[in-house]
Structure 1
Amino acid sequence: MSSIGPTPNPLSLIANLSSTLVTLHLSNTGIRGSLTNDILCLPNLQHLILRGNELSVHLSELSCTTSLSILHLSFCGIQGPISSSFYNLTYLTSLNLMENQLNGSIPSSLLNLQRLTHLDLSRNKLSGRIPNVFDRITNLQTLSLSYNNFQGKLPSSLFTLTRLSQLDCSDNQIEGSLPNEVAFSNLTQLILNNNLLNGTIPWWPLSLKSLTILDLSNNQLTGGINSQIKSYSLEYLYLCDNKFQGNFSESIYDLVNLTELCLSSDNWSNTVNFPLFSKLQKLEYLSLSGCKSLLLESETSINYTFFNLYALQLLSNNIIGWSKFSGKFPQLKLLDLSSNKLEGKVPKWIHDIHSLYHLKLSHNMFTSIGHQFPWYQCEYLDLSFNLMDDDISSFFCNATSLKVINLSHNRFTGTFSPCFANSSSLVDLDLQMNKLHGTLSDNFKHLQLETLNLNGNQFEGLLPKSLSNCTYLVDLDLGNNQFEDTFPNWLQNLSKLEILVLRDNKLYGPIANLKSENIFPSLIIFDISCNNFSGSLPKAFIQNFQAMKIVDDEVQSRLVDYIDTSAGSGVENILPDYDNSIIATIKGANTRFAKIPTAFVNIDLSENKFEGEIPDDFGELHGLIGLNLSHNRLIGHIPHSLGNLTNLESLDLSSNMLIGDIPTELTNLNFLEVLSLSQNQLVGPIPRGKQFESFSNDSYVGNMGLCGFPLSIQCNNNVPLQQDPPSSEAEDKFGFGWKPVAIGYACGMVLGIGLGCCLFSVGKPQWLVIIFEGKRMKKRSRRNRHARTT
């Protein structure tokens, strides 16, 4: 049987085809490699569509395909700049280079393509200003430059295109104001969100009769929306997350074709009559925040039923008529009423929305959910930061669809429900900062659980070993409870675990130095402070903290990203994601992170009974931002290898028994903001330079052998100089020094000894007895008489 050779590249076969080939369409066929000249120079090729392949082609090589009218190379991984040789493609009408790795600026020669009607350069790495030459391509109908790094103002020639129907320049850094006049007559989509646009909204975006999509969200636009809205064809209107103030026009209620409306801002001053939105019968998504007066109950309202609404976000409003509102939402799947200062029990009209999948009532003053859990289809529930005190021991057992439960920062009581451990759907469970008690069920199964946060409750007993079955676990926070157990070595092989917090419990004993190459490989936060752990520091763990050895780009550039956060606006992105939160001791203070930065790499082993020396292996954890080993029994020298932790911002080695000098390598820590070496036995001069010039005496107190700045003790050949004797302030004040005092003291001593000898020889003089012992003798005599009479 003959062997089967490798599958030939389809492009090599095409090269042998007739020169009459007009269309080549091989999208998503797994083609890899380059395009040969036999393909690029086919004389009659008009349509070249290779979307979704992996091509190593340079755009300059396409200059010989002069007959092309359609060129689609999106999602091909093409790198490098856009070649100026595109000017040869004079028949080109459609050019799509979306989702590649193109960089540099747009060459002006590209816009010499006078037949071009469709141009898509979105989702690349292009930068610079958009060239102001669109008056040369007057046939252009669609233009997409979104998700690049373009800067500066939108070119004025862009607004002269009478045939333009779609303009998308979103997610760039475009600034400036919109022009007051445009030539658009066929524009259906104007998408400029996520830029730096400023000024007020001119009349035309809200008056174009053909416009169906207008997205100006996430800019810096100001003023109000006072002009009459005449774009009755609008279906999607996004104006949220700007700097609007004042009023918005009530003509919005006349846009009967609206399906998605986002008006959230910081400060709407007019009274907004919420029931009037029910006139928009096609409305599916409504987001409204920042209203000084949002009236839920209205006498003029004719219809409280929102028939098609499936997502409603009313955040940070001053809501009036909350207790009387009873609207109906038969299709509602997402409801977000967070940050509104709402009080009392969760009302009945919310209980009656059985279609809910996502419910967020956080940051209010609700006191109770109700007698039973009503939302059995719900997948996401956020009741955090309220005053709820329900007993939740078995509250959620019927809610089998829940994936995210956030009940943190309330007053919930009861025990840890076994239903949580048995749930097959639960992904994130946050019960931190409540009044829950008892032991944890030890029947966690092979779950999808990624987050378990029980910090700040009153749980006790042993740590459940069945947590080792939760192989998807990312965040485990059991801190600030009363667990009493040894260190959970059985967690070490959870390969996805990034956060492990066991601080402030009653955990004890040594941490075994297990010989494994896969100990907590993904861990970036390790906090076991305020316990009774003993023995040496867990060197084997430190050696295998692989994720802590990596310095991400976010750390290098000091950019902030977060673990498990959501981004973007629009209805496709409104489904909320759970944000991991944590309370950590950072730079000497307890800090709560509502979202955990991915660059936050921290080890806290403080306030235990660890002994021995600090391992040099800490110096390999280059991603560390914070390191706290304070209040232990550590001895030996400070490792010089700590100078390799160039991203370190906080270092606390205080209250140990460390000896020797302070390594000069620590001056390499350019980001170090907090340093505490106090209460040790360090000696020698304090290093000078860089960050060390900014630390105060408090960083070094309790080390009698240290000298140099900022201490007042000077160094002499690296040895502290003895301080001068106390100044003779007493001599200046009283007119005599220490010598007369010493003479007087000696004379008094001789006189006292002589008087004592006299007393021993002649007995007690009566006058002396009367002065010093009279009262005592009377009391003693009374006690003696009482003893005799009895």
Structure 2
Amino acid sequence: MGWLLLYLHLLLFHFPSFSSSSSSSSFNFLCHHDENSALLQFKSTLYTDYDYYNPCDEPSLLKTSTWKNGTNCCSWHGVTCDTISGHVTGLNLGCEGLYGQVHPNSTIFHLSHLQTLNLSYNNFYDSHFHSKFGGFQNLTHLDLSSCNFQQGEVPPQISHLSKLTSLHLSGNDQLSWKESTLKSLVQNATVLEELYLDETDMSSINLNFMDLIFNQSSSLVTLSLQATRLKGNLKNNNLCLPSIQKLYMSYNLNLEGQLPKLSCSASLSILDLSSCRFQGSIPLSFSNLTHLTSLSLSQNRLNSSITYSLLNLQHLIHLDLSYNSLSSQLPDMFGGMTKLQEIYLTSNNFEGQIPSSLFNLTQLVRLDCSYNKLEGPIPNKTVVFQNLTYLSLSHNLLNGSVPSWCFALTPLKYLDLSYNQFIGNISAISSYSLETLSLCGNMLQGNISESIFNLANLTLLCLSSNNLSGVVNFQHFSKLQNLDSLSLSHNSQLSLNFESNVNYNFSQLTELDLSSLSLTRFPKLSGKLSSLEYLDLSNNKINGSVPNWLLETMDSSGFLNLSQNLFTSIDGISTNNYRLSNLDLSFNLLHGEASSSICNMSLLRILNLAHNELTGIIPQCLANLPRLEVLDLQMNKFHGTLPSNFSMDNELQTLNFYGNQLEGHLPMSLSKCTNLQVLNLGNNKIEDKFSDWLLTLPYLNVLILRNNKFHGPIVDIKDKPPFSSLFIFDISGNNFSGPLPKSYLKNYAAMMIVPQVGENRNLQYMDMHVLNYTQYYDSASVVTKGIKMTLVKIPTTFVSIDLSRNKFEGEILDVIGELHALKGLNLSHNRLTGDIPRSMGNLTNLESLDLSSNMLIGVIPAELINLNSLEVLNLSDNHLMGEIPQGKQFNTFSNDSYEGNVGLCGFPLSKKCGPEQHCPPSANKFWSEEKFGFGWKPVAIGYGCGFVIGIGLGYFVFLIGKPRWLVMIFGGQPKRRVKRKRTRVRRTNGSTMHQMVQMS
């Protein structure tokens, strides 16, 4: 009995109580030896990445650093023990930065008493999701989120965890579900409350059976199926479970149809159906979800007006309808939604004035109505939005003066009113918490308010594209020591005073935009810009040389735009400057040779020296810059040959040498530029054959070789598909010959699929997001619709083939009708023969078609009437005949489209068609073998002989002018005009022959 009392004494006074809910250094019993060993052995099989990015809310404690041999595992961080038995019941190693394999024989599976297991946000990239995880019979909480398990199915043994209340498997995008496994899990885990399966693969699950799978589970409170690749129509109410409170279904991009008409229980508080591509309107049934606090329907395709289906949602705190196509006037429906704190309506088509009820939401913290068509003034309220920290009304049609309350909200940190039609002066600003102030793109006038210089927390200030005036001492901006981005561009009446003898600096400034300010000299900023990464001085009147200090100031990711100035020299470029990434000196007056010292900038990604007067030879070293992605030297006076030493593994995406005087051949080393998207060598003097190694450039989108001295046939290649990414192919103005390359035309995959216009209906351009601060837009000079034009930005929808002004011969291939995305097709000034293919009627996106100056025969196919987008048609100077098709676009074309085809008749020509010209060739019974009982060959032979004799006799009659009556019948004249008409007969011989065939 004495030993028992001694034991109790030690237990009570030397070992304080141990909590079972968290790990602690205090404990009642020693950890079981086998569990202690199992944990240590499990640790020994894994490694710790100390540079691991920790996504968890709390910083990682590196819990396993406390796991040491000879110590009690119940005292280790991340380990929880039962207070009575001493068994390990909880293991929390989430966000520990562990990586390695979890084998089926891992000792972690020996911890049979585990109730909670958290291994989330570790990297078990070589491990499968083992069935042994289903062996923890006592588990109530299992979190294996973002463990990067190998590809495979979720094992059916997961359904054995019948005591689960919380299961997290999100972020394992290689795991896939079978219907039977998910159904068994939900049916067996009868107390399951939280189920997070985001990013796992549920594509094999039939949405029609979702209600059967969940079987109206009465316990589920939270269900998250975000980005699970579900597809099909979501049935109404098949996820309206009895106890459901939080339902997350966002980023299921293959869902389709209308928003489901949910009639969930009043308990539903959070509903997220964003980024699912639902269409139509918001169902009226949503008005029954009266307990909703958060509704997210953003990034869908909702395209009707907002009805009053949301009027009853008086508990809403968060409302997100952004990035849809919701239209009409924004309804005045916010009067009863007094609890709203966040409203996101950006990127829709809302019109009219901002509803007044919106300004009665006193709890509002964030409001974003940007990118709509809202108009009228902002109401001038005296007391409004006292809790507002974020306000964006940019890219609308708002007008009038900016009300003073916008600049007086105490908690406001973000204010964006850019790209509207505001006028007047900028009033005094007392919102001293402001971090972002964007007023650019308006019509604001007057001086820059002095109060701006008191906004000490400001990180971004944009006043560009206004009508600001007056003189500003640039040093005042240095008071804003947190300023990261400053834009004053496009204020032509604004004068900036740069004083060199004043001691100030911009320690945090990384972006400075002073473009289009009529500056005539370089700003005196030497030594004052220690962190500059982006400087735009374009479209000014600065002349002379580029100062060396400027280049040395720029950061390693620096962007320097000096385009559209009057610079004459780049001699100031330092041979020691290795940091600049983007240099734009286009549209200046640079002359002389391009020094090879520019190659010392080994970090260059974009080099744009286009539209200058540079001469000499292109420095060979430019081909070896390791990071160069864009080299634009178009419209200079470079001569000699192209660089011939392009290195392996280069990163070039654009090479534009258009409009120089380059000669010689295409260098074979260009084939090493496997990332090339744009190759523009037009308007030079390059003399070569068409190089088949061009086919090895898999990403080539634009190939322009126009107006050079290329020659010879383009040989069909059958062993590999050529140019599958190409959407602009221009080899016009050369000496190419032979037939059109069939294997090329039938493999233009990018030209066969009509590009989808973005959901905001704006044009998408071919651009290059090289740096964080700018985009380089590829440009090209093209001939389209009969007009030479420069595409400053190349739309991805501009799909064009120009093979004109060559010596191609033979027929136009039917396969060209499969290039459905074509907008421009020019085959003019060649030697093409045969008929116009009827398949061209499939090119319904075609806007310009030029087949002029060839030797095409036959009729104009009636199928071409289907070309509803056609704006320009040129079929002149061929040997076409018959009636011109009528209707649709063909009623808009003038005589010029058909001149030089003497056999054509009908509108718009003055020549009327006879009865025989109205008959299509297929109706001509002359060629019917059934009618005559013998084949067409004897007829053709006899007809051909007769035709030759007839032409000879006819020519003789016209030559001598007798008999006169016969000459007059066929439009002849007396003998004195024979010489002039002889030429006409020769010119129309071909079409006369075909007309005679039709008349027969």
| TM-score normalised over the length of structure 1 | 0.82
Structure 1 residue 527 displacement after superposition: 0.7
Instruction: Identify the match of residue 287 of structure 1 among 462, 476, 487.
Output: 487
Give the corresponding residue for 1:699.
897
Give the corresponding residue for 2:653.
450
Give the corresponding residue for 1:678.
876
Query: Do the aligned partners of 1:309 and 1:329 also contact (CA within 8 Å) in 2?
Result: yes
Q: Describe the shift of the 1:24–1:514 C-alpha distance in structure 2 as closer, same or farther (beyond 3 A).
A: closer
Q: Does 1:428 align with 2:599?
A: no
Instruction: Identify the match of residue 368 of structure 1 among 569, 572, 581.
Output: 569
Q: Aligned ranges for residues 489-528 of structure 1 at < 5 Å? A: 489-516=692-719, 518-528=721-731
Q: Does 1:132 align with 2:332?
A: yes
Instruction: Identify the match of residue 391 of structure 1 among 590, 593, 596.
Output: 593
Name the CA distance, whole Å, in 1 between partners of 2:215 and 2:281. Answer: 19
Name the CA distance, whole Å, in 2 between partners of 1:512 and 1:483. Answer: 19
Choose 485-494 or 390-399, whichever is displaced more. Answer: 390-399
Instruction: Identify the match of residue 435 of structure 2 among 202, 212, 235.
Output: 235
Name the CA distance, whole Å, in 2 between partners of 1:314 and 1:298. Answer: 12
Name the CA distance, whole Å, in 2 between partners of 1:422 and 1:685. Answer: 60
Choose 505-514 or 170-179, whichever is displaced more. Answer: 170-179
Q: Aligned ranges for residues 620-769 of structure 1 at < 5 Å? A: 620-717=818-915
Q: How many residues align?
A: 717
Instruction: Identify the match of residue 225 of structure 1 among 420, 425, 432.
Output: 425
Structure 1 residue 471 displacement after superposition: 2.2
The 3-state SS of whatever aligns with 2:832 is strand
Give the corresponding residue for 1:404.
606
Point out where structure 2 has 5 or more consecutive residues left out of the alignment. 1-103, 105-129, 132-151, 157-176, 241-262, 919-973, 977-1000
The 3-state SS of whatever aligns with 1:512 is coil
Query: Do the aligned partners of 1:49 and 1:73 also contact (CA within 8 Å) in 2?
Result: no
Structure 1 residue 443 displacement after superposition: 3.1
Name the CA distance, whole Å, in 2 between partners of 1:574 and 1:550. Answer: 31
Q: Does 1:339 align with 2:510?
A: no
Q: Aligned ranges for residues 152-167 of structure 1 at < 5 Å? A: 152-167=352-367
Query: Do the aligned partners of 1:685 and 1:718 also contact (CA within 8 Å) in 2?
Result: no
Structure 1 residue 255 displacement after superposition: 1.8
Structure 1 residue 594 displacement after superposition: 0.5
Give the corresponding residue for 2:808.
610
Instruction: Identify the match of residue 479 of structure 1 among 677, 682, 704.
Output: 682
Give the corresponding residue for 1:196.
397
Cα RMSD after superposing both structures: 3.5
Q: Aligned ranges for residues 581-600 of structure 1 at < 5 Å? A: 581-600=779-798
Choose 135-144 or 550-559, whichever is displaced more. Answer: 550-559
Name the CA distance, whole Å, in 1 between partners of 2:219 and 2:759. Answer: 51
Name the CA distance, whole Å, in 2 between partners of 1:109 and 1:557. Answer: 25
Q: Aligned ranges for residues 170-181 of structure 1 at < 5 Å? A: 170-181=370-381
Choose between structure 1 and 2 for higher RCO, CA contacts under 8 A separated by at least 6 residues.
Answer: 1
Structure 1 residue 47 displacement after superposition: 5.4
Instruction: Identify the match of residue 440 of structure 1 among 639, 642, 659.
Output: 642
Query: Do the aligned partners of 1:43 and 1:67 also contact (CA within 8 Å) in 2?
Result: no
Q: Describe the shift of the 1:488–1:578 C-alpha distance in structure 2 as closer, same or farther (beyond 3 A).
A: same
Query: Do the aligned partners of 2:443 and 2:466 also contact (CA within 8 Å) in 1?
Result: yes
The 3-state SS of whatever aligns with 2:388 is coil
Give the corresponding residue for 2:773.
575
Q: Describe the shift of the 1:287–1:605 C-alpha distance in structure 2 as closer, same or farther (beyond 3 A).
A: same
Name the CA distance, whole Å, in 2 between partners of 1:301 and 1:178. Answer: 44
Give the corresponding residue for 2:170.
none
The 3-state SS of whatever aligns with 1:312 is strand
Structure 1 residue 627 displacement after superposition: 1.5
Name the CA distance, whole Å, in 2 between partners of 1:381 and 1:42. Answer: 62
Structure 1 residue 214 displacement after superposition: 0.3
Query: Do the aligned partners of 1:276 and 1:301 also contact (CA within 8 Å) in 2?
Result: no
Query: Do the aligned partners of 1:49 and 1:70 also contact (CA within 8 Å) in 2?
Result: no
The 3-state SS of whatever aligns with 2:335 is helix
Choose 699-708 or 484-493, whichever is displaced more. Answer: 699-708
Name the CA distance, whole Å, in 2 between partners of 1:427 and 1:644. Answer: 37
Q: Describe the shift of the 1:155–1:289 C-alpha distance in structure 2 as closer, same or farther (beyond 3 A).
A: same
Amino acid at match of 1:15: V
| TM-score normalised over the length of structure 2 | 0.66
Choose 293-302 or 624-633, whichever is displaced more. Answer: 293-302
Instruction: Identify the match of residue 210 of structure 1 among 405, 411, 428.
Output: 411
Name the CA distance, whole Å, in 2 between partners of 1:229 and 1:514. Answer: 68
Q: Does 1:275 align with 2:475?
A: yes
Query: Do the aligned partners of 1:270 and 1:292 also contact (CA within 8 Å) in 2?
Result: no
Choose 576-585 or 699-708, whichever is displaced more. Answer: 699-708
Give the corresponding residue for 1:15.
186
Query: Do the aligned partners of 1:297 and 1:324 also contact (CA within 8 Å) in 2?
Result: no
The 3-state SS of whatever aligns with 1:197 is strand
Choose 613-622 or 658-667, whichever is displaced more. Answer: 658-667
The 3-state SS of whatever aligns with 1:603 is strand
Q: Describe the shift of the 1:618–1:26 C-alpha distance in structure 2 as closer, same or farther (beyond 3 A).
A: closer
Instruction: Identify the match of residue 379 of structure 1 among 560, 581, 585.
Output: 581
Amino acid at match of 1:167: L
Name the CA distance, whole Å, in 1 between partners of 2:450 and 2:732. Answer: 57
Query: Do the aligned partners of 2:607 and 2:630 also contact (CA within 8 Å) in 1?
Result: yes
Give the corresponding residue for 2:748.
545
Alignment deviations for residues 81-105 of structure 1 (CA, whole Å, 9 cap, x no partner): 5444445544443444555566655
Name the CA distance, whole Å, in 1 between partners of 2:626 and 2:748. Answer: 30
Point out where structure 1 has 5 or more consecutive residues left out of the alignment. 567-571, 721-740, 744-790
Amino acid at match of 1:639: P
Choose 165-174 or 27-36, whichever is displaced more. Answer: 27-36
Query: Do the aligned partners of 1:246 and 1:269 also contact (CA within 8 Å) in 2?
Result: yes
Structure 1 residue 339 displacement after superposition: 1.2
Structure 1 residue 557 displacement after superposition: 12
Structure 1 residue 212 displacement after superposition: 0.9
Name the CA distance, whole Å, in 2 between partners of 1:205 and 1:323. Answer: 33
Give the corresponding residue for 2:517.
317
Amino acid at match of 1:433: M
Name the CA distance, whole Å, in 2 between partners of 1:698 and 1:81. Answer: 49
Query: Do the aligned partners of 2:475 and 2:498 also contact (CA within 8 Å) in 1?
Result: yes
Give the corresponding residue for 2:615.
413
Choose 65-74 or 581-590, whichever is displaced more. Answer: 65-74
Name the CA distance, whole Å, in 2 between partners of 1:281 and 1:528. Answer: 55
Structure 1 residue 284 displacement after superposition: 0.6
Query: Do the aligned partners of 1:103 and 1:126 also contact (CA within 8 Å) in 2?
Result: yes
Query: Do the aligned partners of 1:354 and 1:376 also contact (CA within 8 Å) in 2?
Result: no
Q: Describe the shift of the 1:719–1:240 C-alpha distance in structure 2 as closer, same or farther (beyond 3 A).
A: same
Q: Describe the shift of the 1:630–1:50 C-alpha distance in structure 2 as closer, same or farther (beyond 3 A).
A: closer
Structure 1 residue 470 displacement after superposition: 2.1
Name the CA distance, whole Å, in 2 between partners of 1:600 and 1:103. Answer: 27
Amino acid at match of 1:594: V
Q: Describe the shift of the 1:593–1:415 C-alpha distance in structure 2 as closer, same or farther (beyond 3 A).
A: same
Amino acid at match of 1:309: L
Amino acid at match of 1:425: R
Structure 1 residue 409 displacement after superposition: 0.9
Query: Do the aligned partners of 1:274 and 1:295 also contact (CA within 8 Å) in 2?
Result: no
Q: Describe the shift of the 1:315–1:11 C-alpha distance in structure 2 as closer, same or farther (beyond 3 A).
A: farther
Choose 552-561 or 257-266, whichever is displaced more. Answer: 552-561
Structure 1 residue 707 displacement after superposition: 3.7
Q: Describe the shift of the 1:517–1:348 C-alpha distance in structure 2 as closer, same or farther (beyond 3 A).
A: closer
